[in-house]
Amino acid sequence: MAARALQKRVDRKYLVPQPLIGTVLERLAADYRVAHAGDVLVGRYETIYFDTADRQLFDDHRRGRRPRYKVRLRHHCDRRLTFVEVKQKGGCTSKARLEMPFSGGVADTETPAMPWQTTLAGRARQFVDEHCPIPADRLMPLVWVTFWRLTLVGDGIHERLTFDWNIEFGDRDTTERLPGLVIAEVKQAGFTNSSPAIEAFGCLDLRERSLSKYCLATLRLASARAHSFRTGLQAAERLTA
């Protein structure tokens, strides 16, 4: 897993109908291995995304600006780990993260632990200020996302895959679920179509989509402008209808 950390990488996303996952995994079995999440194969994740009051970080994603950033607090519930993370998207994706004392929920609860009083203070604030051009004191928690994740690592391939499902998100007032949808992401050291995963998705007529869980949640919760995400959003809505 350490050899496939890929903190600097190319991210490629796919929206997969949940009934198709078994077929996808069968096609990948010869080239990838499952990475454990603590003592289990499938891990629960809780994430709080921070943005400015006028959603400047989201707006940069909507406009396709580069570099653009995401700032989040992510809890790996089964491994009892918490990280402050800053993701930067330029020509590729790079992620800086700082481990913090674990403060998430527990893996067997259905109620996400999303305290809206969460602030970026102390080491977390300094870390964000070092890696994001928007000062931490302008950022506030606006969206939470929870999901279950299966992670595969390439066996001889410098690549990692994640499959996220049971996706739920919300803000202070609203909660939504995305039943039937799996968001798959291929994380590559460099862009290439010579990948068993990319070939498998192509054979199954699954198209690459530029739509993250954060942007999807923001579009659904905040009535944000969606023109640049229209194709991906429509595909997600068809799968969850």
Phi (first) and psi of residue 99, to 5 degrees: -75, 135
Task: Give the model's pLDDT for residue 38.
Answer: 84
- Give me the tens of pLDDT residue by residue for the chain, a chain 241 residues long: 444 456 678 899 999 999 999 999 999 999 999 998 888 999 999 999 999 999 999 999 988 899 999 999 999 999 999 999 999 998 788 999 999 999 886 444 454 545 555 788 899 999 999 999 999 999 999 999 999 999 999 998 889 999 999 999 998 888 999 999 999 999 998 899 999 999 999 999 999 988 889 999 998 898 777 777 888 888 888 888 7
Encoded amino acid at 112, one letter: P
Query: CA 54, CA 51: separation in Å to the nearest integer?
Result: 8
For the chain, the structural domain boundaries read 2-240
- In three state form, how does the secondary structure of 141-175 look? EEEEEEEEEEEEEECCCCEEEEEEEEEEEECCCCE
The predicted model scores a pTM of 0.90
Encoded amino acid at 172, one letter: R
Query: CA 117, CA 188: separation in Å to the nearest integer?
Result: 36
Q: Which CATH number fits domain 2-240: 2.40.320.10, 3.40.1410.10, 3.30.360.10, 2.10.109.10?
A: 2.40.320.10
Q: Give me the DSSP letters along 45-95.
A: EEEEEEE-TT-HHHHHHHHT-SSEEEEEEEEETTTTEEEEEEEEESSSEEE
User: Tokens 């931490």, residue?
Assistant: 136
**Positive or negative CA dihedral for 119, 122, 123, 129?**
positive
